[in-house]
Structure 1
Amino acid sequence: MFVSNSVKNIKYYLIALVILIIGAVLLNRLLSENNQLEQQKIEAELKKAHTEAINNAKSGIQVYATLVSSIKSYTKNSETFPSEKNLQIYLKDLLGNVKFDDSILVNYIDKDHVFKYVVTPNQIDPQKLKGTSGKSFLSPERTIELEQHMLDDKIRLFTPINLREGWTGFPFNFSARNNKNEILGYFSPVINVKYLLDFFYTHNQEKIFLHKFIIKDSFDLTREGYYNDTKIYSEVKDEEYYKNYNINDSDYIYSSIDLFGLELKVGSAFKIKPQTSIKNNCLAFGWYAILSILVLLSLSQYLKNRRLNQTLKEVNNLVVQKNDELEINLSKIQTLIKEIHHRIKNNMQMVAGILLMQENEYEDENIKQALKDSQNRIRSMSLVHEKLYGNVTLEDVKTKEYVEQLLEYVEDTVKNKSMYLVKEINIDEGLFFDAETASDLGLILNELVTNSFKYSFKNNVKNKLSITIIDNRPNFKLIYKDYGEGLSDDFNYKTSDSLGMELINILTEQLQGKLEYKKLPESTFIINFKPHEKSFHS
């Protein structure tokens, strides 16, 4: 026996060894996949920052475009061509809610390229350019471009320039025309590049990410200078210039922004690229330690389980036996409940029969009608127990079937032979209510239908009633229409002392409901209600 148990133990250890080897393979795969996921997360973080920066820049470009378009409209549509002072006042008003300070410079240059206006929101000709010819510092190619551009009516963005003011600008140019569309030269609003590029450095992203800006795939652009071999007047250097960092070009992701036909290529990269965490190795060692403990515990538990299995089988047999006994008892209880419902139904029918016999003892029509109404009410409650008696679950009543039979009974009881009635019942076939809820609804419908026969329906004409129940769980809505003349204008259904209306109000309150009445376009009772809580579950 000892040898047999030892052999079995060796078998269990071999199984455990196989499990540990499989675990090692799976763990190695897990670590590899986790590293890939972390790398993807790093790349996704860079893409997100890059996308946000691009979107911010596009928003800034839209602001600039709006400003330049406004200046163009103002100069062209003024009754008289604006003076330099008028242009400055307009510019200051235009930028009242935008913090540009003096970082937008508007130049008006005549057809001979001589500066006529040079204004900022707060200064006029800060660098004494008025009267200066642009030909003295513009290249012949740029001069020809500007002369051609004067002839069209479009806004065009030229490549950035390093201004004498010590900042780099984007020159937006458009033809200067008066309200007679005569060409007077051209305007050159120049906007500080720093304001555009600052959109890439919001939310303190400069601490994590780096951006490079390239025009025409050749020239670098920073917040302080444009590196195209022209003189840079700014003495301040942009600390975020990408060449200050030793980052491989392959670590950048690129996008291009169209600036009125001028392409700005933007690259984004991590200043310090995140590395995958070494915590994965710690996780691996921890996993192996836990796995080894689990294997040992599993071996021990396995031996215990073998001893417990037989006991569990015996207990299970006992549970099955008890369940069989419970099923028998439950069947007896269901039979007893069905018998109770049957007896209740019979007793109610007996009461209804007694009331029917009493009708013949009275000559007063009011008493007879009251007894007949009582019979109908008892019949509506009796019908609930009749439905429960024939129901397998003994809990719920099939609502549509119950309402249809209730209507048939009331119709047989109070309808005249010369009366023609169309019934419309809009109730879901699968809608069930508990006995108490069904009984309350039955009594309410009994009163409403009886009143319709008494006061609304006419002989020898087409009468119609409609019953709808809308399921908006946990609440429901009962809508009853009889398409008759409706209640009189002075009738208050809430305070009426008639037994029928009092009964409807009481039952509505029992259902935690609210009763509404609308006379037009058709006589309609609406009851929003909530079913009773079930007191019995099979």
Structure 2
Amino acid sequence: MILLALIPCYVNISNIFEHGLLIDYFDEYEGFFKDLYAMILLIFLYISSIKKEQKTRVAHEHQIKSDLELKSKLLTEIHHRVNNNLQIISGLMALQIESEKDEKLTSSLNLIQNRIQAIASVHKIIYGSPNLLYVNLNQIFSLILSNLKITYLKENVDIELRELVEEGLEMDLDRAIPIGLILNELVSNCFRHAFTIENKGIIEVSLGKLEEEFVLVIRDNGIGMNVESEEKGIGLMLVRNLVKQLQGTILIGTLKGLTFEIRFPIKNMNPLKI
């Protein structure tokens, strides 16, 4: 566009040279040439500014990407080390359990070990996941329930554990450990207290979405429990505190066994800032 605008000027200037009127011409069009020069200078400065801004933006993007990759590696390493340390503690407790002859003490140590394993399970899945913001609930439930089966399903125990977990459920990291501990605590309670030797036991664990909430239901067909007396127990107190941490609700049913229904928001109201 600039070149096209200059063509008539070039033609007129050629005519001026032929007639010896160059000085008069430049005097007459001095303002025009100053404006033209200023316009070209502004265009040049504008293009230079855009290029500089693009270079700065690209440099910032590379820096942000590099920082995120470093942070991701550090978080992965932290989860890996936490899991390893928890596994060491769990292993030491297993050795202690094997050497103990007091059944009451052994039972208490098993409870503590299972809680440690529940926390370790979450960290294990986190460091093995490509996404450090959310964790797969199916994997967490599967790993925790597998550990509980190993602990409680002995040869002479006739208990069936049914898992009904909706596929593709994910949760932010800071709420994954509380839900893992809730699962561990309630299912452990079913294994330990719900059944007599005579009856066949069934424990059902289901997790799904209902509107804007996660719904976790754990039920058994056992002998039930006295809710008022159990309220004073450490296990149920721990569960209630964890549900409160999730900003959820818990309902307990005692018809034909025992049922725990826990609801909490899908969206984290107090997200962890990484």
Using the size of structure 1 for normalisation, the TM-score is: 0.41
8 Å contact from structure 1 (residues 376, 446) kept in 2: yes
Percent identical: 26
In structure 2, the partner of 1:154 is none
Larger radius of gyration, structure 1 or 2? 1
- SS of the residue aligned with 1:423? strand
Describe the superposition over 1:164-196 as per-residue Cα deviations: whole angstroms up to 9, x where unpaired.
xxxxxxxxxxxxxxxxxxxxxxxxxxxxxxxxx
CA distance change for structure 1 residues 4 and 379 in 2, over 3 Å: closer, same or farther?
A: same
- SS of the residue aligned with 1:520? coil
Name the CA distance, whole Å, in 1 between partners of 2:8 and 2:86.
Answer: 75
8 Å contact from structure 2 (residues 250, 263) kept in 1: yes
Residue 481 of structure 1 is aligned with which of 219, 225, 246?
Answer: 219
In structure 2, the partner of 1:406 is 144
Tell me, yes or no, if structure 1 residue 527 matches structure 2 residue 265.
no
- SS of the residue aligned with 1:497? coil
Alignment of 1:93-108 (within 5 A): none
Alignment size in residue pairs = 243
In structure 2, the partner of 1:506 is 241
Q: CA RMSD in A?
A: 2.9
- SS of the residue aligned with 1:534? coil
Tell me, yes or no, if structure 1 residue 308 matches structure 2 residue 43.
no
8 Å contact from structure 2 (residues 153, 159) kept in 1: no
Name the CA distance, whole Å, in 1 between partners of 2:212 and 2:128.
Answer: 27
8 Å contact from structure 1 (residues 419, 460) kept in 2: no
Tell me, yes or no, if structure 1 residue 424 matches structure 2 residue 162.
yes
In structure 1, the partner of 2:181 is 443
Using the size of structure 2 for normalisation, the TM-score is: 0.77
8 Å contact from structure 1 (residues 418, 460) kept in 2: no
8 Å contact from structure 2 (residues 118, 184) kept in 1: yes
8 Å contact from structure 1 (residues 505, 515) kept in 2: yes
8 Å contact from structure 1 (residues 397, 434) kept in 2: yes
Tell me, yes or no, if structure 1 residue 341 matches structure 2 residue 79.
yes
CA drift at 1:376: 0.1
8 Å contact from structure 1 (residues 513, 528) kept in 2: yes
Name the CA distance, whole Å, in 2 between partners of 1:334 and 1:373.
Answer: 33
8 Å contact from structure 2 (residues 125, 139) kept in 1: no
Higher helix residue share: 2
8 Å contact from structure 1 (residues 518, 525) kept in 2: yes
Name the CA distance, whole Å, in 2 between partners of 1:377 and 1:336.
Answer: 25
CA drift at 1:365: 1.6
Unmatched runs of 5 consecutive residues or more in structure 1: 10-300
CA drift at 1:535: 0.8
Describe the superposition over 1:318-352 as per-residue Cα deviations: whole angstroms up to 9, x where unpaired.
32133223222221211111000001111111221
Name the CA distance, whole Å, in 2 between partners of 1:388 and 1:8.
Answer: 71
Alignment of 1:40-51 (within 5 A): none
CA drift at 1:395: 1.8
In structure 2, the partner of 1:329 is 67
CA drift at 1:307: 4.6
In structure 2, the partner of 1:99 is none
Alignment of 1:13-92 (within 5 A): none
In structure 2, the partner of 1:357 is 95
CA drift at 1:369: 1.1
Alignment of 1:379-418 (within 5 A): 379-418=117-156
CA distance change for structure 1 residues 389 and 473 in 2, over 3 Å: closer, same or farther?
A: farther
Name the CA distance, whole Å, in 2 between partners of 1:428 and 1:305.
Answer: 60
Residue 492 of structure 1 is aligned with which of 208, 228, 233?
Answer: 228
In structure 2, the partner of 1:466 is 204
In structure 2, the partner of 1:369 is 107
8 Å contact from structure 1 (residues 420, 460) kept in 2: no
Name the CA distance, whole Å, in 2 between partners of 1:417 and 1:484.
Answer: 19
- Flag as ranges the 4+ runs of structure 1 deviating above 4 A: 301-307, 458-462
Name the CA distance, whole Å, in 2 between partners of 1:364 and 1:475.
Answer: 43
- The amino acid of 1:404's aligned partner reads S
